[in-house]
Every structure is written in structure tokens, then in C-alpha cells.
Amino acid sequence: MPENQAPVLTAPAPAAPPPEPGPAAPRTRARGRRPRGAAVALRRVSGLAAVLLLWWLGTRQGWFGSTTPSPGSVREAAVELLESGDFGHHLLVSLGRVGRGLALGIPLGLVLGLAAGLTRWVEDVLDPPIQALRMLPHLALAPVFIIWFGIGETSKTMLILIGPVFPLYINVLHGIRGVDNRLVEAARSCGLGRWGLTRRVILPGALPQIFVGLRQALGIGWLTLVVAEQTATTSGIGYLMTDAREFLRTDVMFVVLVTYALLGVLSDLLVRLLERRALAWRRGFAGV
Amino acid sequence: MSSQTDQAGPASRSPETGRPPGRAAAPPDSAGVRVRGLRRSFGTRRVLDDLELDIAPGEFVALLGPSGSGKSTLLRAIGGLDPEVEGHIDVPERTAVVFQEHRLLPWERVWRNVTLGLRGGDLRARAVAALDEVGLAERADAWPATLSGGESQRVALARALVRTPRLLLLDEPFGALDALTRLRAQRLVERLWEEHRPSVLLVTHDVEEALLLADRALLLGEGAIAREFAVDIPRPRPLDHPRLLRLRGRLLAGLGVTGGEPS
């Protein structure tokens, strides 16, 4: 029994366990607390710094051969690209493609998952075809989409749209199926109807899993962008990469690679911030 | 499976240990419970078989029985949580259930859990008033995950109370609590029952709990109320009241536990 157990009765003060005498309590509290603030930030930065250092050292000593650009030359290429305005233009085009694709794909995946999760017959109808389609690597659709939707933006948007649908669908459905039925029963005994159950019990209960789906969906969105921009385009950071390959500009190629990584990390960070706000009630295992 | 009169255990028929089952007076009043011909099977196993039960308005009834005898099944049926049960059940409109696990929504603050499903103005004030009755008003804004087991169960009790139920169904609500916390929670339930006077059906496997709280203790066996014991001991009941000890021995014997107090 936890030592801070409050007495059951409100009325005449029951024999509550006396508070622990002074010296013992603060010590137990101080022990086992996670390090905070600066220490955590330092730990998080140190790993990244080590990778950069290794990269710098490796190119300097020639461990990686002559075709690997040094961090310094990549930085120079980045500055050059930024100053010419090329990079901004290509980045905006790419962001637009991912944005459009995700703006359509994420709601689609959510709606399909919710419909199947909340209504049995929808699941029976939807699930088999979606499971079959899911097994198809959606990137293999790229050539087909170019024939169907042309070499313009539509085929790229469609390709980026289709990828995130499946992880979202599966995670939303799985999240809903994983909601504790005892909670549903208790809420029903409190008089909640179908809509109330969905809003107060089923959706919040599925939310952690829905966030997992969202993070996977974003990752797949960026992945699909890479493939979509490798053919039939003259803009976007993927084109920048293809173009650099023609001129053996490995430094520019690395600029694009780092950009992909940063974009992925940033979008993931965004979801994690959302997640932390939405799932403030959770007390999961935080590691030791 | 044949009827319970033929199959009842060897000790259960002796006339001085119990009254005939299911015959307590309970007119079909809006605050009472009236159950007739209740049947429920799981697969080929018939758990409830033509069960009859009456609870008078404001009466506190404890339901005992060996594990798997259908206690919770009966409570769920009366609480309207079992769509597959057959038979006739009259219950008051306002019925609330407290389960063995607190079943609070972890993503809602304590007070929002208490008012779950309620409509109307100033829900928070109503929640705090109910929480005050169980001594937890100051935890109204806490997350359920930060409560102890006893506190969670008291919040579940507040969630039931705030509905001002005419019938309160308690499904082993203290089963998971440690002995000291359980004792306090039992006193709390008794006090709240005396103040609000709902009819109560308490499912428990704890003979002493039944004898501390109930006006009547029912023994479930062979799918029906096998035996019935009136607990006419003045409240508050000390655990060592001689009549309570005697009844405890009979109840334990009825449950098939030997070595209880000899009667």
C-alpha cells in the first residue's frame, strides 16, 4: 500500500498512518529521480556530436575514400545553394508535394481506420482489400501512377498520398480494438450512448496507437517523396540530388541527405510534441 | 442439469440454517428489485437456472457463492450489462455499478470520471460534492493514475453516488484492496448507504464483509439462490458479535468450507 494513502473516512479523524519522520523522506525522494535539464540536453547532443566528429575525422584521414565530402565542404555547398535561392525553391516544391500528399492521405487513413474500427460490417468489407493492398510495396506503383496520372504533380501527390494510408488504417483499427472492454462496459453503465462512448472512451483509448500510426505515416511520406522525385521532374530536393549526381557533386548530394534527415526529425518532433500534450495522462515506463 | 432442490449440497437443506430461498417480500416497487426465471448459459454450461430474487427498497443484500457460481453474472444481468440473459428483471431506473476494478478512464481527470455520462449544469460542483462524501474532494483534478488503489475505488464509489441511484450494484468492490483499506471502505459504504438508502446488491466472496454490511446474505448455488440468511444484528456491527460469529460459521459451512465456527 502506498504510504500516502488518504484515510477512507472523512469524519472523525481515523487512525491515518503517521507521516514519516523528517530525515528519511527527502532522501528516498531524491534517489532515483531522472537527471534534468542541462544534463539531459548534454546527453542528447553528445551522440550527435560524436557522429559529426567521426565524419570529420574520417574524411580528413581518408578512411571514407575520396568520394565522401567533409562536413566543411557540405556546409559550403549548403551556403552556396541557400544564397543562390535554388535550395529554397526546391525545398518549397518538395514540401508542397509532401504536404498535399499527407493532407489527403492522413485523413483518408484515419477515416478508413475509424470506420472499420467502430462498425463491424465496415471492417468485414474493407479489411480484406486493404490488407491485400498493404502487402503491395506502394513504391512499386510509381511507374503505373506516371502512366495513369501523367508525369506532372498528380502522380507524385497520389504516390505520397497512398503510402501513409496503410499504417494509419492499421494503427487506428488496432488501437480501437485494443481499448479495454471493461472501460467501455463501465462507461455504458454510466449511461453513455454510442457517440459518447466513441468520444469519451474509444477514441482517447485508441489515441496512443493512432499517434504511432501518425509517426509511421510521416516517415513513409518522406520516403515516398524521395522515390517520387527521382524521375520525371525538374524541381524538388530529389531533383537537386539527381542533378548533383550528373556532375558528381557529392557535397550537394550530402546537403540533400542531411535535409531529408532534418525534415524527418522535425516532423517527428512535431508529432511527439502533440503526443505529449494529448497523452499527458499516461504514466508509462520511462526507462532507467 | 436438474433443479437446485435436487442438487443442493448435503448441508444446505437443513431447516435451522437457512430460510427457503428467494422468498423475501419485495413488491414490484420502483426502488426494489424483482427477478424471475433468470437463465444464462455460457456454451453448454448453465450458470443461472430459473433464478428468483427480490430486493426490498432500501435493503442491503449480500450475494455469496463459490468462485464460478454466477454471482457476477447475476449482478451484470441486473445491471443491464448482459444482453444475452433470459428472464424477467425489474430494476429501478437509476442504477449504478461499482466493479471490482475501479474502471476509471485514465485520460479523464478524476472529477470528469465522476460525472461521466451526466448532463446538466455545473457538473464539476456535483462531482466535487460526491468526491467530498468519499473524502477525496481535493483530488478532483488529479489523473486517475496518480491515485492509490483505495482512492481509485472511492472515486468509483463517488461516480456511482453522484447518480443518486435507487439501486447500487457492488461487484466485489473491495476485493483488490488490502485488509485495512478494505475495512475503511466497508465502513464508508455502510455510512453512505445509511445516508442515501439505495437498495444494494453486494457481490462478495468475503463472508465477514457480507455479515458486516448486509441485511440479508444469499448463497448462490446450482444456478439459483440456494440459501438465505437474515442478518439481524444492530449496526455498527462489531466483528466479534456472537451472532455474527455464529452466522459466519453457517455461511462458511454453506460455502463448503469446513473448520468454520461450529454452530
**Are B117 and A187 within 8 A, CB to CB?**
yes
Q: Is A186 on the interface with B (CB under 8 A)?
A: yes
Query: What pLDDT does residue A154 have?
Result: 92
Claim to verify: residue B53 and residue B131 sit in the same structural domain: no
Claim to verify: residue B249 and residue B194 sit in the same structural domain: yes
Claim to verify: residue B177 and residue B84 sit in the same structural domain: yes
- Is B263 part of a structural domain of the chain? no
Confirm if A159 and A183 have CB atoms less than 8 A apart: no
Claim to verify: residue B81 and residue B184 sit in the same structural domain: yes
> Mind listing the pLDDT tens digit for each residue in A140-159?
999 999 999 988 889 999 99
Residue ranges of alpha helices (H) inside chain B are: 4-7, 71-78, 110-114, 123-133, 149-161, 179-196, 207-213, 242-254
- Is B158 part of a structural domain of the chain? yes
Q: B99 or A35: whose pLDDT is higher? A: B99
Confirm if A172 and A209 have CB atoms less than 8 A apart: yes
Q: Is A245 on the interface with B (CB under 8 A)?
A: no
Residue of B110, B116, B141, B183 to mutate, testing the A interface (most A Cβ within 10 Å of its Cβ): B116
- Interface ipTM: 0.80
Instruction: Collect all residues of chain A within an 8 Å Cβ-Cβ radius of residue B81.
Output: 185, 188-189
Query: What is the pTM assigned to this prediction?
Result: 0.77
Q: Is B150 on the interface with A (CB under 8 A)?
A: yes
Instruction: Give the CATH number of domain A74-278.
Output: 1.10.3720.10
Domain that holds residue B133: 104-164
Query: What pLDDT does residue B243 have?
Result: 93
> Mind listing the pLDDT tens digit for each residue in A236-261?
999 999 998 998 899 999 999 999 99
Q: Is A88 on the interface with B (CB under 8 A)?
A: no
Claim to verify: residue B36 and residue B158 sit in the same structural domain: no
Q: Is A185 on the interface with B (CB under 8 A)?
A: yes
> Mind listing the pLDDT tens digit for each residue in A175-208?
999 999 999 999 999 999 999 999 999 999 999 9
Confirm if B39 and B88 have CB atoms less than 8 A apart: no
Q: Is the pLDDT of residue B13 over 60?
A: no
**Are B117 and A196 within 8 A, CB to CB?**
yes
The distance of B135 to chain A (nearest Cα, Å) reads: 5
Confirm if A159 and A140 have CB atoms less than 8 A apart: no
Claim to verify: residue B244 and residue B189 sit in the same structural domain: yes
Report the number of distinct structural domains present in chain B.
2
Q: Is A208 on the interface with B (CB under 8 A)?
A: no
Confirm if A169 and A116 have CB atoms less than 8 A apart: yes
Instruction: Collect all residues of chain B within an 8 Å Cβ-Cβ radius of residue A189.
Output: 79-81, 95-97
**Are B117 and A4 within 8 A, CB to CB?**
no
Residue ranges of alpha helices (H) inside chain A are: 24-30, 38-61, 71-84, 86-118, 120-134, 142-149, 153-177, 181-189, 194-197, 203-228, 237-246, 250-278
Claim to verify: residue B125 and residue B58 sit in the same structural domain: no
Claim to verify: residue B117 and residue B187 sit in the same structural domain: no
Q: Is B97 on the interface with A (CB under 8 A)?
A: yes
Q: Where are the domains of chain A?
A: 74-278
**Are B116 and A187 within 8 A, CB to CB?**
yes
Query: What pLDDT does residue A60 have?
Result: 87
**Are B117 and A14 within 8 A, CB to CB?**
no
